[in-house]
Chains A and B, each alone.
Chain A
Amino acid sequence: NAGVTQTPKFQVLKTGQSMTLQCAQDMNHEYMSWYRQDPGMGLRLIHYSVGAGITDQGEVPNGYNVSRSTTEDFPLRLLSAAPSQTSVYFCASSYTGDRASEQYFGPGTRLTVT
């Protein structure tokens, strides 16, 4: 049971480039989410999904796209990277996403945009 996995661990992009951050979980969780972590700001919710084919925006969705074609995978796409997207990105999952649920986090992807 690998839990929540993320790839890559590190990435450097140039402004304007696109890329996809991968996230997978093997716990059969319905709910998956993406956060970004910036110094002094905690974690902020980017997008989330309550099941395959269902996604919604979080607090800071601009510049990011998501899709959920399977229960296991929830990729995050940066369409045209900007320096403001330099951050550490965490994927998380939980059984249902209800407000009492414990969220399980991946190890993170550290992204630098130059």
Chain B
Amino acid sequence: AQSVTQLGSHVSVSEGALVLLRCNYSSSVPPYLFWYVQYPNQGLQLLLKYTTGATLVKGINGFEAEFKKSETSFHLTKPSAHMSDAAEYFCAVSENDYKLSFGAGTTVTVRA
């Protein structure tokens, strides 16, 4: 069975500061991992994904995530937060075709 835990339902950062969103997963097979972002009153859009190969994955808008198998983690980072990064972020895992399991989400607020 697959599941996702996002640590921290809310994260507040200052503009220009590091953004770190934590995600841990459980999976009975090598996982495929995703980060999606949801801006207010919109649907989700893909930030980045890990399937196989390089464990450091770069996505859109300056975000990146590192797959660490030993820690069962896939944390999302951005070196310098921008006001436009205020959104809700979801980590997701796929063990098999057709079914994606989402974490509960982390809301990011950015302080000027």
Q: If A106-B43, A108-B43 touch, does A43 touch B94 (CB 8 Å cutoff)? A: no
- Distance, CA A58 to CA B96, complexed state (A): 13
B43's partner among A58, A99, A100, A107 (CB-CB below 8 A) is A107
Asked if B90 and A43 make an inter-chain contact with CB atoms under 8 angstroms apart, the answer reads yes
A34 CB within 8 Å of chain B? no
Chain A residue at minimal CB-CB distance from B90: A42
A97 CB within 8 Å of chain B? yes
Size category of the binding interface on chain B: 20 to 34
A8-57 contacts to B (CB < 8 Å): 31, 33, 35, 40-45, 48, 50, 56
Asked if B32 and A100 make an inter-chain contact with CB atoms under 8 angstroms apart, the answer reads yes
Asked if B98 and A48 make an inter-chain contact with CB atoms under 8 angstroms apart, the answer reads yes
Total A-B residue pairs with C-beta atoms closer than 8 Å? Answer: 62
Q: If A43-B90, A90-B44, A108-B43 touch, does A103 touch B105 (CB 8 Å cutoff)? A: no
- Distance, CA A38 to CA B98, complexed state (A): 21
Asked if A97 and B104 make an inter-chain contact with CB atoms under 8 angstroms apart, the answer reads no
Interface string of B58-83 (1 = CB under 8 A from A): 00000000000000000000000000
Contacts of A58 in B (CB 8 A): 99
Asked if A56 and B98 make an inter-chain contact with CB atoms under 8 angstroms apart, the answer reads yes
Interface string of B91-112 (1 = CB under 8 A from A): 0001111111011110000000
B9 CB within 8 Å of chain A? yes
* Chain A interface residues toward B at CB < 8 A: 4, 31, 33, 35, 40-45, 48, 50, 56, 58, 90, 92, 96-100, 102-108
Q: Can you list 10 A-B pairs with a CB-CB distance of less than 8 A?
A: A40-B105, A42-B4, A45-B99, A58-B99, A90-B43, A98-B97, A99-B32, A100-B32, A105-B45, A107-B42
